[in-house]
Copies of this chain bind each other. A is one copy, B any other.
Amino acid sequence: MIERARRYAVLGTGAVGGYYGALLQRSGFEVHFLARSDCEHIARYGLAVRSPMGDFVLPKVHVYSEAGTMPRCEVVLVTLKATHNHLLASMLPSVVAQGGTVVLMQNGLGGEAEIFPWAAGAQILGGLPFICVNKTAPGQIHHIDYGLVTLGAFGPDYAPQGQSPVLLQVAEDLQQAGIAVETAADLMLARWRKLVWNIPYNGLSVLLNARTDQLMENPATAALAEQLMAEVKAGARACGRDFPDAFIEKMLDHTRAMQPYRTSMKIDAEQGRPLEVETIYGHPLRIARRAGAQMPRVEMLYRQLQFVDARIRTVGKVATRA
């Protein structure tokens, strides 16, 4: 086993954190996992990954139920659900090593700005995982497909940071662990581009209890998805980020060609988990509004989802609409 220089912390050993963290440890990095509910199980049995790239087991991992007992690490991967980001206020100051790096591995936009005050001077990177992976049981990770991480450096007001040394270093670590990495010189642009897909499909799939194929088969919702994408593009443009209309066409075609897919927000709703409403809708809406853009349809989806989310937080799991 090669000894690597940087220690990694993984905050949140769900599907994404379990998978990427296990790959890092397998390639020789020292990795410390925070697993609040599964800690005892993982301490006893380790982590098991099933993957088309090869199954493997890590019988022994460093695992903690409290961030306060973890050692300081040079790189902290945040793989919590964005709905738990408020917990980072107390976690990050004790986990990040002096001069360290925090990688916020979540969808949406605005999370880096949210956690910035708690990062104790660490550099912040944003990570966008394009991956299909589930946690099937405590410590059991089932990787189904994809796995690319887009990494970009965060700076105040999301000013483009280019290819910073820290960015390249973390990218290299991940690549050495067998993870496909793409670096983005402009994190905000990367996040807006991913929102083009996430904003229409996550929200509509929850509200209409539908898979992506069902949304695209119905001309009314297919047209609505396209309108929502156009609003996201307008929001991005107000922030000085542009991409061609062809990108929207590509996302629509891609979704039409995809296997029937349940979005992550749909799965959260089915499981009675709070929805990532702020990071996917609330923050981007406020960022776009400050930049002068209105996104009326996206805002409407946000309000509808706030209602559903409030109900989930009150009564737990909500029955789905057939």
The CA-CA distance from A301 to B301 in the complex, in Å, is 10
Chain A window 291-303, contacts with chain B (Cβ cutoff 8 Å), 1 for yes, 0 for no: 0000011001111
Residue of B nearest to A319 (CB): B322
A259 contacts chain B at the CB level, 8 A cutoff: no
Task: Kindly identify, within residues 37 to 55 of chain A, every residue whose CB is under 8 Å from any CB belonging to chain B.
Answer: none
The CA-CA distance from A210 to B306 in the complex, in Å, is 13
The CA-CA distance from A318 to B296 in the complex, in Å, is 28
A27 contacts chain B at the CB level, 8 A cutoff: no
Chain B contacts for A304, CB-based, 8 A: 204, 207-208, 220-221, 224
User: A92-100, A129-137, A308-316: which lies at the B interface?
Assistant: A308-316
A223 contacts chain B at the CB level, 8 A cutoff: yes
Chain B contacts for A318, CB-based, 8 A: 321-322
A320 contacts chain B at the CB level, 8 A cutoff: yes
Chain B contacts for A208, CB-based, 8 A: 207, 304, 307-308
Total interface residues on A, CB under 8 Å, equals 31
Cβ-defined contact, B303 with A300, below 8 A: no
The CA-CA distance from A66 to B306 in the complex, in Å, is 48
Chain B contacts for A306, CB-based, 8 A: 218, 220-221
Task: Kindly identify, within residues 205 to 225 of chain A, every residue whose CB is under 8 Å from any CB belonging to chain B.
Answer: 207-210, 215, 218, 220-221, 223-224
Residue of B nearest to A300 (CB): B297
Which residues of A come within 8 Å of B, CB atoms?
A: 204, 207-210, 215, 218, 220-221, 223-224, 227, 296-297, 300-304, 306-308, 310-311, 315, 317-322
Closest 4 CB pairs of A and B: A220-B306, A318-B322, A220-B303, A319-B322
